[in-house]
Structures are given as structure tokens and as C-alpha cells.
Structure 1
Amino acid sequence: MATHVITGAGSGIGAALAERLLARGDELWLWARNAGRAKELRERFPGAHTLVGDLAEPERLSWALGHQSPPDRVDSLTHSAGVVELGEVGELTPKVWQSVLAANLLAPAELTRLLLPQLRAARGHVVFVNSGAGLRANPHWGAYAASKHGLRALADSLRGEERANGLRVTTVYPGRTATPMQSKVHQQEGRAYDPEVWMPPEAVAETVLTALDLPRSTEITDLQVRPTH
């Protein structure tokens, strides 16, 4: 039985991945921003453990984790939590930049750092759920794309640094996916949202599982996933 830590398991891709892993009998440790959210996750995913810390405040994650009892070994750490704020560069304030970078880049970097001993013990796997915005930046997507470009750099650096310790690192770049974040994006864009138009989160979760389940002798480093319509 493998042990998995997942951020963003409350909805979207993270929830779909948690459901698949729980159904096959793996051990789940789900990251929650507060105690109330942790309770909701335990009720939704019976048998799952929770860890609490606000990813919007990465500088406090070390303190938060130090007051809890994380697993001794972590076979995989999947970063699927994230935030999005659209706007032109000429309009985005430092507060917006800081909040997006904190949640999408600094928190994954810090959480990975904090769990590296457990990941090394298991010769584990780190998965970054990135975005097409991590490969190109379109108008109005400057802050989000910057955070996701940085996330790609984080993954590439981590892969090279931890190869000798047996860690595998995968970045998945989904196209637009039917998640609550996508609904928010459409609202910011002033467009009607139809989830049937976009990829289901289960399809991206299946992609993550494919990477996790590869034989130890192989590694998917970067994988783009796009809808077929």
C-alpha cells in the first residue's frame, strides 16, 4: 500500500485523484487549509488522514507541519491546489502577484522541501499539476502564467537535484479542465461556463496515475493533456 500526499483534494483534479487512489486501497494524506476543511475531507474520503496549513502563507507551513505528525514515508506528493487571478500587467497590484505566486509556486516549493526526508525514504514521486499557462503566457494571464512557468522551473531543478536520491518528478500540463477554477476563469472573462465543453478532471487524474504507476526504471518528466474537441 502506497502513501500519497495531495493538495487541492477538495475539488477538481485533486479530488478525482484522491477518489481513484482511495478506491484501490492506498493511504491518503490530504492537505487542508484549516481544521474545518480537514473535517470535510475526512468525511468525503473515509479513512483518509489530513494535514492542515494555509498554502496562501507558505512561510508558516514549517510551523504548521511541525505541530502535526506527517507520515514517515511518502510515496507521492501531488501538488494540485492553485489559484487564478486574471488581469492586465498594467492593472495587477503587488498584492495580487504575491497571492498568486505564494499559492502556486512558493507553497509547492516549501511543502516539497518539508516532505523531502519522507520522499527520499520512499524513493518517491513528486507530481506538479501545472497548466498550459506554464508553457506560454497569453494576455491577461501574466500573474498566473508567471507562477506556472516558475513551477516548471522548480520541477526541473528538483528532478536534477534529487535524481541521486531516487526521486521521480513529473509535470502535467492540462488544457482547460471542468473544475471550480475554470468556472471562476469564465466569470473573470465575462463568458458563460459550460463544463461539458472542457476535459473532465477524471481524465487528468488518470494521467497522473499513469505517471505514478510506471515501473521504477522509468519516468515521465513532462506531459501535456488536451481535450479532443
Structure 2
Amino acid sequence: MATHLITGAGSGIGASVTRALLERGDEVWLLARDAGRARQLAGAFADAPGTVRTLVGDLAEPERLSWAFGHQGLPGELDSLLHVAGVCELGAVGELTPKVWQATLAANLVAPAELTRLLLPQVRQARGQVVFVNSGAGLHAHPQWSAYAASKHGLKALADSLRGEERGNGVRVTSVYPGRTATPMQEKVHRQEGKAYRPEDWITPESVTRTVLAALDLPRDAEVTDLTVRPGG
């Protein structure tokens, strides 16, 4: 039985990955922003054959994660740390406020960095893997996407640096770059763009999940560093 910690388990890709790991009989720790949300997440996956545990910490306030974890029990080791949560707010550079920039960078970049720092000893103990579910925006920036793309470009830099630093400790690091995926975030993006949302036009969360699992299941003599997934058809 492997042990994993995942962010963003409440919906979309995060929920799909969580379900898939639990169906294997694994132990999955779900990060929740508060105790109420932790209870909701635990209940949502209570029927799965694996073991669900929760950890409370708000990604919107990464500077408080260390304090929050200091008051809770943590897993002894982690076979994988999966960063899936993220926020997205579109807008032109000439219109985005510092509040939007700070909130986006906090949740999408600073929080994954701090979460990794705090849990790296457990990942090292298991010679495990850190997976960053990034975005196509982490490779190419388009108009109206500056804050989100900047946070995701930064996330790629974080992953690349971490990979080089932790290779000697047996830790693998993978970045996954999905194109547009049929998730609640994508529906929100379409509203911001003023476009009709047709989930059938985009990748399913389950397809991205299969990509993540392929990276986790790769034999130890190899490492997938970067995977790009695009809508087909």
C-alpha cells in the first residue's frame, strides 16, 4: 500500500486522481483549507476501498502552513506528493490588481513550494515522487492569462530546480501540463471569456489522471520529467 498526499481533491482532476488511488487500496491524505472542508472531503470518498486521511492547511495563506502542520499529525512517509489545486483569474495586465497577482501566486506557486518544503522529509524517506499538475499555460502565455501563466511558469521552474536538487535522494519530480480540461475551473474560465462551455470539447479529468498514474507507476530505473496532454479529436 502506497501513501499519497494530494491538494485539490474536491473536484476536477484532484478528485479523479484521489478516487483512482483509493480504488487501488492506497492511503490518501487530502489537504483541506479548514476542518469543515476536511469532513466534507473525507465523506465524499468514504465509500472507496483505500484509506482516507485529512490534513488542514489553507493554500491561500502559505505562510501559515508550517504553524498549521505543527498542530496535527503528519504521514510518516509519502510515496507521492501531488500538487493539483490551483486558482485562475483572467484579465489584462493593465487591469489586474496586486491583490489578484498575490492571490494567484500564493495559491499556485508559493503554497506548492512551501508544502514541498514541509513534506520533503517524508518524500525522501519513501524515495517517492513529487508531481506538479501544471497547465499548458506553464509553457505558453496568452493575452488575458498573465497572472495565471506567470504562476505556472514559476511552478515549472520550481519543479525543474527541485528535480536537480533531490536526484541524489532518490526523489523523482514530474510536471504534467494538461490542455483545457472539463473541470469546474474550466467552466469558470469560459464565463470570464464570455464563451459557451461545452465539456465534451475538452480533456476529461480521468484522462489526465491516467497520465499522472503512468508517471507514478514508471519503474524506478526511469523518470518522466515533463508530460504534455492535449485535447484530441
* TM-score (ref. length: structure 2): 0.97
How far apart, CA to CA, are the structure 2 residues paired with 1:59 and 1:211? 30
Per the TM alignment, residue 196 of structure 1 is displaced from its structure 2 partner at its CA by: 1.0
1:42 aligned partner: 42
> Number of residue pairs matched?
229
2:192 aligned partner: 188
2:76 aligned partner: 72
Which residue of the other structure, out of 107, 114, 120, is the alignment partner of 2:118? Answer: 114
1:209 aligned partner: 213
When the two chains are superposed, the root-mean-square deviation of aligned CA atoms in Å is 0.6
How far apart, CA to CA, are the structure 1 residues paired with 2:177 and 2:32? 23
Which residue of the other structure, out of 181, 197, 220, is the alignment partner of 1:177? Answer: 181
> Which amino acid in the other structure matches residue 23 of structure 1?
E
How far apart, CA to CA, are the structure 2 residues paired with 1:49 and 1:173? 27
Give structure 2 stretches of 5+ with no counterpart. Answer: none
Per the TM alignment, residue 44 of structure 1 is displaced from its structure 2 partner at its CA by: 1.1
Q: Secondary structure at the match of 1:68?
A: coil
Q: Secondary structure at the match of 2:121?
A: helix
Q: Secondary structure at the match of 1:48?
A: strand
1:100 aligned partner: 104
The one-character-per-residue Cα deviations of 1:200-220 (angstroms, maximum 9, x if unpaired) are 000001100000000111100
> Which amino acid in the other structure matches residue 43 of structure 1?
G
> Which amino acid in the other structure matches residue 4 of structure 2?
H
Q: Which moved more, 1:168-177 or 1:45-54?
A: 45-54
Q: Secondary structure at the match of 1:59?
A: helix
> Which amino acid in the other structure matches residue 17 of structure 2?
L
Moved over 3 A (4+): none
1:198 aligned partner: 202
User: What is the percentage of aligned positions where both structures have the same residue?
Assistant: 74
Per the TM alignment, residue 182 of structure 1 is displaced from its structure 2 partner at its CA by: 0.1
Q: Secondary structure at the match of 2:63?
A: helix
How far apart, CA to CA, are the structure 2 residues paired with 1:43 and 1:130? 27
How far apart, CA to CA, are the structure 1 residues paired with 2:144 and 2:217? 37
